[in-house]
Chain A
């Protein structure tokens, strides 16, 4: 797109928004709906609406609306609250709803029911109570409401809402009624376990519970003639699915729709404590919205003969040792003009040990651009080779048109757990700023073969603590620096990508510093919003540090699993070998002697000199120098430079050393610098409007509740990061918020709560 074209597009956005704000209130909603049936789409969205999970196909989380602005943000009031638990419980409510053509759409409950809501009153217009998925639901790896759903219209009055269920079915519903479209699949439902090359088998269970520890207590193939024992809730219930012996797949994110093509992938089990060495790989598929017919399939674990298959040195076919996962579980983005969809891909099987899958393991940890119509790979970039850090690509990439060095560039910026933003020309995949393959530390764990190099972006600078080096340590006095260095050297140090150490003494250290850890950086809750007008990017992240220590696991098929525990004794784990005794456990007796074994005596106070490896505080003070990391970091993507930074919730305070620590004297007469108030390991949740960045503090981030038990939704100036407003809310946000204009009134809606207290909350200015 040329600079001139960009200007035209911006002007059109503003004009349409003004029209919506100025004129909509005078129009009956029916007329409004009719007028909006043939709107001009901007990035796949109608200005003032929110038709994609990320606001538009570019995942900007941007709205050109400005009725709510710095002058009135703090006047926002609750317009309505929609009870998302009315039909059942959930995990935490991680959904961002959609607004399209006069209706709000969402999912809710751990069965992922779909709903349409009146945006003005918060009343339910229709609901779709999913299918009875039987064993497919009972043993689904991702039993929660998920991130949301998808919307499609042909612009001629036909509208659809698409939801993928926990049991991996895809339903195409009439957006006006919630009724499944009979022209699609079987009665409006496509079984996503079909079309992957497996013969579906009847399923059975031996217990009435869910999966345990990722993959234990799974379903199984039913025996011939097996029936359902209604009383015990076991047996074969008639459900068909992929043979569970091959593994488990599911989905938790909505598909993305470009033109008439639904692009859908899958998520997978957790990779924390796998016991099985083999699991299903992952796929991206295109489906025809009008029929449900599968159009194409792209293998995220390349099969023999395909590009990338040689990055699996032991082979890549289903059933090969070490093969599994590579699931693209985050939301996707697309450029409808280029006809490309962008897939952020997760990691292969087993989060912290890759000794069973030598090679770079494409397309794990990659950003993959696929042709929407054919599924053919246009380009890809692997951001982490042979991942052993649980660095799944966790968030939809953000698209922007910016001017770099006087040249208009169509870019795509991928935020990651590892704290880097990887920026590319989205048409070609060419890095915008150099990302040289850089030598990295090598694993010392037996059997592990780490990649010799990793690509390291030269720009933008990271938004989270990476690794641990001497320069990162507090050095307020020589004694404090020496103490911090003593603790730091107890675990393996390095700038980034520090391989895990083994607790069994087979490596020089028993732990490795882990920053960012498995939760990022950016993860499920955070991610970025971008301003298509200015090219600013607002990254919501966390910055925390922990350690990696892997352990041998005699009860798993994997040589090592993440420590400090193994899986022995867990339901479904392999029995331990004869003579096995549990290893000593930190924080508890290795030999389970009961209360008498330890007598409950408090340990003698210890200082840093006697601290366990992995201790990262001295008298409660972090050994890390306070830096402007985590929270919200604004980048100017025209230059790649940081513009501003704020902590999550905006508050800073001077930490106080623990007075009862034997190390407290180290900090006597030391003026400590302030640090952010609130948990470092929590991510804010951002969106942006014409003039504001609006954010919630996330599930456990930011300052604690005030004296009235209230949290806050914040607004900051987009150019400076200065707080311009804060609204009391009853409970923290649990997903990124969204906004839209309906009948001339701008609303901000966010999800909140968990279990049986989930809700959508709509805020608006007083009438």
Chain B
């Protein structure tokens, strides 16, 4: 039984190895949930809007600063540098909620899996705008 399982595992691994490499995950892959974006919107209007009026965090400005960078960069920025009046005060969960709202405002689709707070996972996702 053990031999069979081992053989099957090897076979499966070999099959996987033959598959083309998965496309790098990007922010166009549905990497946050609508619920996170809603909470992020509340946080935006509660805190962020003091310095970031609408139009300053979406579109060309956002693209110029963030397109092509790992999502962990944005997380680090939000988590450690924001808000300006009290940097570092957002919890990890609040930070990714704000990020979800920003992604939503930049027309990146929501998905069914919540955005994690793990930097390692976020580091494997590339910010990609159309």
Contacts and interface: CB of A to CB of B under 8 A. Distances in A.
Contacts of B69: 588-589, 592, 594-595, 597
B81 to A, nearest CB: 5
Contacts of B55: 209-212
Contacts of B77: 585-588
B70 A679 contact: no
B111 interface: no
Interface in B22-69: 24, 41-43, 45-47, 49-51, 53-56, 59-61, 64-65, 68-69
B76 A212 contact: no
A517 B77 CA distance: 19
Nearest to B123: A600
Nearest to A543: B86
A588 B85 contact: no
Contacts of B83: 681
A732 B42 CA distance: 10
Given A213-B56, A617-B88, A754 B45 contact: yes
Interface in A56-93: 91-92
A595 B47 contact: no
**Size band of the A side of the interface?**
35 or more
A270 B52 CA distance: 9
Interface string A239-283: 000000000000000000000000000000010100000000000
A546 interface: yes
Interface in B84-126: 84-89, 119-126
Contact of B68 (A211, A586, A592): A592
A755 B85 CA distance: 23
Contacts, number: 139
A597 B51 contact: no
A544 B50 CA distance: 15
B54 to A, nearest CB: 7
A439 interface: no
Contacts of B76: 586-588
B35 to A, nearest CB: 13
B65 A599 contact: no
B56 to A, nearest CB: 5
A699 B47 CA distance: 8
Contacts of A517: 84-86
B129 interface: no
Contacts of B74: 588
Contacts of A542: 85
**Size band of the B side of the interface?**
35 or more
Given A587-B80, A588-B74, A595-B125, A546 B47 contact: no
B81 A587 contact: yes
B79 A587 contact: yes
Contact of B41 (A565, A603, A699, A754): A754
A598 interface: yes
A213 B61 contact: yes
B24 to A, nearest CB: 7
Contact of B56 (A212, A599, A755): A212
A224 B121 CA distance: 56
A518 B73 contact: no
A681 B123 contact: no
Given A569-B64, A571-B61, A587-B77, A594 B70 contact: yes
B22 to A, nearest CB: 13
B44 to A, nearest CB: 8
Contacts of A570: 60-61, 64-65
Contacts of B41: 754-755
B54 A210 contact: yes
Nearest to B61: A570
Nearest to A680: B86
A700 interface: yes
B43 A700 contact: yes
Contacts of A588: 69, 73-74, 76-77
A116 to B, nearest CB: 26
Interface of A: 91-92, 143, 209-213, 270, 272, 517-519, 523, 542, 544-547, 564-565, 569-571, 585-589, 592, 594-595, 597-603, 612, 614-617, 679-682, 699-700, 732, 754-755
